[in-house]
Each structure stands twice: as C-alpha cells, then as structure tokens.
C-alpha cells in the first residue's frame, strides 16, 4: 500500500482509491435501502450508478438483486472496484458521467455521496442530467444523494472523521476554504497512520463542488426532461422548500421516450 507524495491536484483524492475507500468505510446499508425504495424498482431491475467510486453502493445494489452498470471517470477507482467489489450482478467501466453512460434503457439511476456536485459547471450538470434522462425508461427515477445549500452560500466550514481499521487509523478532514456564488472550494486531506508506527501517509486534494439549492436543482432537472423533483431526508420523510443539508433527491423522467 503506497501513496504518492502529497498532491494538491484536483483529482488526487480519487486516484488513491485504496485510501479513499479506507476513509469512507462506514455502514451504507440504511442509505442503500432508502435509495432503492425511493427508486420504486424491484430486483432484478436494471440500474445505473454513475460516479461509482470504489463500488461500495454498486455492490450493495447488486447484492440486493439489481443488475448494475457502474462507471467512474477515474480508472484507479474502477480498477479498485473490479478487484474488491466484484459481483456477477455488476459491470464496472471507466466513463464520464457527462456523456458516456451507455445506451440501453435502464429502470433507475443513482448517484451517492455528492458525486453530482463534482460537475463544476451548469453545462456539465446539464449534460449529465440529459445523459441520465436518455437512458431512463419513461417515468423512470434518478435518485441522487447530495448536500443542498442556502442562498447566499454557506460560509467556510470544516468536517472531519476517523475510521479505525485493523492495521491503521485513517483521518479524513474536509475543509471549505472559499465559497463563491456557485462553488465551495474544498480541501480534502486523508491521513493513514499504520499501527506499526511507520510513517503516516497523507495526501491533499482541492476540489470545486458546485452549490445547489432545491430550486436550482429542480430547474436544471426540468430543463433536462425530468418533470418531478421530490426531496427526502435520511428518514425518508418528504421535505419541501429550499432546505439545507444532506438529502436524497428523486427526479422522475417525463413520460415520453428520449433519444
Ligand atoms: C465523492 S466520490 C463518490 C464515489 C461513490 N459514489 C461513493 O459514494 O463511494 C465522487 C466520485 O465521482 C467521480 N467523478 C467525478 N467527476 C466525474 C465524471 N465527470 N464522470 C464520472 N465520475 C466522476 C470521482 O472519480 C469519484 O469517484
């Protein structure tokens, strides 16, 4: 397990898939269960998981009996998922969620853990929403899990956690150093301290994350051919208005097929 020297380039946190996976090793079962329920599909429905990362959610959906197509822009993430999250019900591939999501119709689509917010421009977000819409069956559902923000945008903030593993302690720190009208500029630091007291490994990445409110997300979804957006909190309750915090957004595709 080696890590390159601290690297402040935009995608470093995703290139080091093994460290990302150690830092995000929490129980996702409740979120998966809720997302699958909100998508209104039953196994063996065919589902899409863009920005699948190390495959945590894709594997969970495959284990529930769904037929999963999962993709990610970062080849290291896809390699890791194939090696550690393999399942006969899931196919992993490298693909850009802006326009490379494949062709066949699917019953539902999912993105988790703020992945949609990595699409930094309105145009990127719109290309992605249209690409998902093209793949969804009429009235099919896209469930995205993301943080929504107030207007004016959030002030700088910090969020950190530690995960204890058998051989190491992983510390993750997410700080928002700068906020503009459209973006939060995040600095992610992941440190891995082996228990044998050898040198800790650490890397840093800076990433712009696009800020969305319920209204701006609803408008973007509508423009891309979704005709309904409903927000749910983590307990599955519907939430109305321009709420702030972490939500599951359910976007329902229009009733006409899309090519
Ligand atoms: C915060 S991670 C979440 C990964 C995964 N959804 C999870 O919850 O573990 C965001 C992921 O988005 C991917 N990503 C960013 N931009 C992308 C794009 N344009 N197309 C596909 N994947 C992208 C990154 O490589 C990274 O794996």
**Tens-place pLDDT, residues 120-130:** 999 999 999 99
- Whose tokens are 């959906």? That residue is 61
For residue 128, the ligand 1 atom closest to its alpha carbon is 19
pTM above 0.85, yes or no: yes
- Residue with CA closest to ligand 1 atom 15: 118
Burial class (CB in 10 A: 0-12, 13-18, 19+), 84: middle
Give the least confident one: 97-111, 115-129, 181-195.
Answer: 181-195
Q: Please confirm whether the linkage preceding 120 is cis (ω < 30° from 0).
A: no
Q: State the DSSP string of 131-169.
A: HHHHHEEEEEEEEEEEEE--SSPPPP-EEEEEEE-SSEE
Instruction: Find the mean pLDDT for residues 97-120.
Output: 95
From CA 184, how far away is CA 175, in angstroms rounded? 10
Q: State the DSSP string of 69-116.
A: EEEES-HHHHHHHHHHS--TTEEEEE--TTT---SS-EEEEEE-TTGG
Going by the DSSP 8-state scheme, the letter that residue 200 receives in this structure is P
What percentage of the chain exceeds 70 in pLDDT?
94
Q: Taking 60 as the threshold, does the pLDDT of residue 10 lie above it?
A: no
Q: Which residues contact 168 (CB under 8 A, 6 or more apart)?
A: 22, 192, 193, 194, 195
- Residue with CA closest to ligand 1 atom 12: 51
* Local confidence band at 13 (pLDDT 50, 70, 90 cut-offs): low
Q: What is the pLDDT of residues 28-41, one digit of tens each?
A: 999 999 999 999 99
Options 3.40.50.300, 3.90.700.10, 3.90.1200.10, 3.40.50.150; CATH of 17-150+211-253: 3.40.50.150
Q: Which residues contact 167 (CB under 8 A, 6 or more apart)?
A: 194, 195, 196
What the block records as the tokens of 242 is 């321009």
Following CA atoms 60, 63, 65, 70 in sequence, which dihedral angle do they give, to the nearest 10 degrees?
A: 50
Q: Taking 60 as the threshold, does the pLDDT of residue 221 lie above it?
A: yes
Instruction: Find the mean pLDDT for residues 71-87.
Output: 97
Q: What is the pLDDT of residues 238-256, one digit of tens each?
A: 999 888 999 999 999 998 8
Ligand 1, pocket residues at CB < 6 Å: 14, 24, 50-54, 56-57, 72-74, 77, 96-98, 112-115, 118
Dist. CA 116 → ligand 1 center (Å):
8
Measured N-to-C along each axis, helices 29-38 and 56-63 cross at an angle, to the nearest 10 degrees, of 70
From CA 13, how far away is CA 205, in angstroms rounded? 6
Instruction: Find the mean pLDDT for residues 111-133.
Output: 96
Q: Are 207 and 234 in contact (CB under 8 A)?
A: no
- Residue with CA closest to ligand 1 atom 16: 118
Average predicted confidence (pLDDT) for the chain = 90
Dist. CA 115 → ligand 1 center (Å):
5
């Amino acid at each position: 397990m080696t890590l390159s020297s601290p690297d402040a380039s935009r995608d470093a946190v995703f290139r080091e898939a093994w460290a990302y996976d150690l830092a995000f090793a929490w129980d996702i079962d409740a979120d998966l269960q809720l997302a699958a329920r909100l998508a209104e599909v039953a196994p063996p429905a065919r589902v899409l998981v863009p920005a699948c990362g190390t495959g945590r959610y894709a594997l969970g959906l495959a284990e529930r009996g769904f037929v999963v197509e999962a993709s990610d822009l970062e080849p290291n993430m896809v390699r890791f998922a194939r090696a550690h999250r393999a399942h006969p019900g899931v196919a992993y591939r490298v693909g850009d969620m802006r326009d490379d999501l494949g062709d066949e119709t699917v019953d539902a689509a999912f993105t988790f853990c703020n992945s949609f917010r990595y699409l930094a421009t309105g145009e990127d977000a719109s290309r992605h929403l249209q690409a998902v819409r093209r793949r969804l069956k009429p009235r099919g559902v896209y469930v995205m899990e993301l943080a929504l923000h107030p207007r004016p945008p959030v002030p700088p903030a910090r969020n950190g956690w530690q995960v204890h593993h058998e051989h190491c302690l992983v510390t993750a720190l997410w700080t928002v150093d700068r906020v503009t009208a459209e973006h939060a500029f995040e600095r992610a630091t992941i440190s891995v301290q082996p228990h044998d007291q050898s040198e800790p490994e650490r890397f840093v990445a800076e990433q712009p994350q696009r800020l969305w409110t319920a209204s701006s997300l609803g408008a973007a979804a509508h423009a891309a051919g979704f005709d309904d957006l409903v927000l749910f909190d983590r307990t599955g309750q519907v939430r109305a208005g321009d709420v702030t915090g972490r939500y599951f957004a359910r976007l329902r595709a229009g009733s006409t097929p899309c090519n």
